[in-house]
């Protein structure tokens, strides 16, 4: 059986992920069980510091595997098969009623089987793509009721991570939350990243207004992002998120019973990597994808949730360049096709 599985997938990254997950799950069992500081159920807002609570961090971790069967590479006589592994963890290091300090880590690994080449340079398409980072964040409640925060993440996104300092990815956020009556608040932030989809290497200020008149409406109206959650009925919710240029999530979730939820979603996402052998230092390998999915989420038992989904991925392509305006350079287009996803989440 092991030999058969080895023929289908390169299981080497599974050993790495297995070690990481064993460490995470084992370590998280000893962490505090108070509530996580970020607004519950709003994963896209993590790191923005929108939560009105300080000192209620909760440990969490998850593993996700996504399989894309072999599909044709347009304009090349080959196909493209992808298996993506993702693992993440967040743990509180210190917290009290006015301060919180946490540590987080994320791992994304793409195992690619293809004979495709980057057409402009003739280079063989990489068989592996990695994005590994370690981050930390700190928030403090000030005497005037404002909440200030800072986060820093350092890692590497490449076909050979940490090969040199030129593949290093740095992201930092500064934020201030200013109460505006009731649950509402203003959020001011500054973001810096050397691997952003747009305006790379440039600090970008942002401002948003968090509007939450009741438990059925949550909205963030801001620049350069927007979020909306509507809950017209107790068991039904709708979500919409946008971040420039091409990050979109729109979904609907129905709770069938206490442990079971079903959902459907549209996602438009992007990933970016610094190839070690790139010809231009500022070039990155971009990946874009749109997908429609349906899934089921089951709360198996505290603290474990199982998430299974599948769907159709389309408008998939890679290209190499400095930003989105270079979509025609070294472009590799993939045929549309199905995908299958399994995720396990731990919340403590």
What's the CATH number where 126 sits? Answer: 2.40.160
Is the CB of residue 177 less than 8 Å from the CB of residue 165? no
Quick one: pLDDT at residue 155? 96
Cα separation of 88 and 105, whole Å?
Answer: 6
Q: Which string of DSSP letters, residue by residue, matches 180-212?
A: -STT-EEEEEEEEESS-SSSTTS-EEEEEEEEE
The pLDDT of 253-277, averaged and rounded, is: 94
Strands (E), 5-72: 60-72
Q: Which region, left, alpha or beta, applies to residue 336 given φ > 0 means left and ψ of -120 to 50 means alpha?
A: beta
The pLDDT of 92-98, averaged and rounded, is: 94
- If one counts the domains in the chain, the total is 1
Global pTM exceeds 0.75:
yes
pLDDT at 192 over 50: yes
Cβ atoms within 10 Å of 107's Cβ, excluding its own: 22
pLDDT at 348 over 80: no
Quick one: pLDDT at residue 223? 87
Cα separation of 191 and 206, whole Å?
Answer: 8
Q: Report DSSP state, residue 7.
A: H
pLDDT at 5 over 60: no
Q: Which domain holds residue 35?
A: 2-347
The pLDDT of 117-127, averaged and rounded, is: 95
């Amino acid at each position: 059986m092991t030999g058969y599985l080895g023929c289908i997938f390169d299981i080497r990254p599974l050993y790495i992920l297995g070690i990481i997950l064993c460490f995470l799950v084992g370590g998280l069992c000893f962490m505090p069980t108070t509530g996580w500081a970020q607004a519950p159920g709003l994963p896209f807002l993590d790191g923005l510091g929108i939560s009105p609570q300080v000192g209620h961090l909760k440990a969490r971790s998850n593993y996700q595997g996504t399989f894309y069967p072999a599909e044709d590479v347009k304009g090349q006589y080959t196909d493209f098969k992808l298996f993506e592994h993702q693992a993440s963890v967040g743990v509180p290091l210190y917290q009290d009623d006015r301060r919180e300090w946490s540590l987080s880590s994320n791992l994304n690994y793409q195992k690619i089987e293809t004979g495709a080449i980057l057409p402009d340079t003739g280079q063989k398409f990489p068989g592996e793509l990695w994005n590994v980072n370690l981050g930390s964040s700190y928030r403090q409640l000030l005497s005037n009721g404002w909440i200030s925060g800072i986060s820093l993440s350092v890692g590497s996104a490449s076909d050979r991570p940490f090969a040199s300092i030129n593949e290093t990815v740095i992201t930092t956020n500064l934020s201030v939350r200013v109460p505006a009556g009731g649950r509402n608040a203003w959020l001011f932030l500054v973001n810096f990243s050397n691997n952003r989809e747009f305006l790379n290497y440039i600090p970008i200020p942002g401002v948003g207004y968090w509007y939450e008149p009741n438990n059925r409406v949550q909205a963030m109206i801001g620049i350069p992002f927007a979020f909306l959650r509507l809950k017209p009925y107790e068991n039904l919710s709708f979500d919409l998120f946008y971040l420039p240029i091409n990050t979109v999530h729109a979904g609907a979730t129905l709770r069938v019973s206490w442990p079971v939820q079903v959902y459907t979603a549209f996602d438009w996402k992007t990933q970016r990597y610094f190839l070690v052998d790139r010809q231009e230092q500022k070039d990155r390998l971009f990946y874009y994808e749109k997908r429609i999915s349906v899934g089921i989420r089951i709360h198996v038992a505290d603290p474990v949730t199982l998430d299974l989904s599948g769907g159709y991925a389309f408008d998939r392509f890679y290209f190499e360049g400095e930003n989105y305006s270079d979509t025609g350079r070294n472009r590799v287009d993939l045929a549309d096709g199905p995908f299958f996803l399994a995720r396990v989440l731990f919340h403590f």
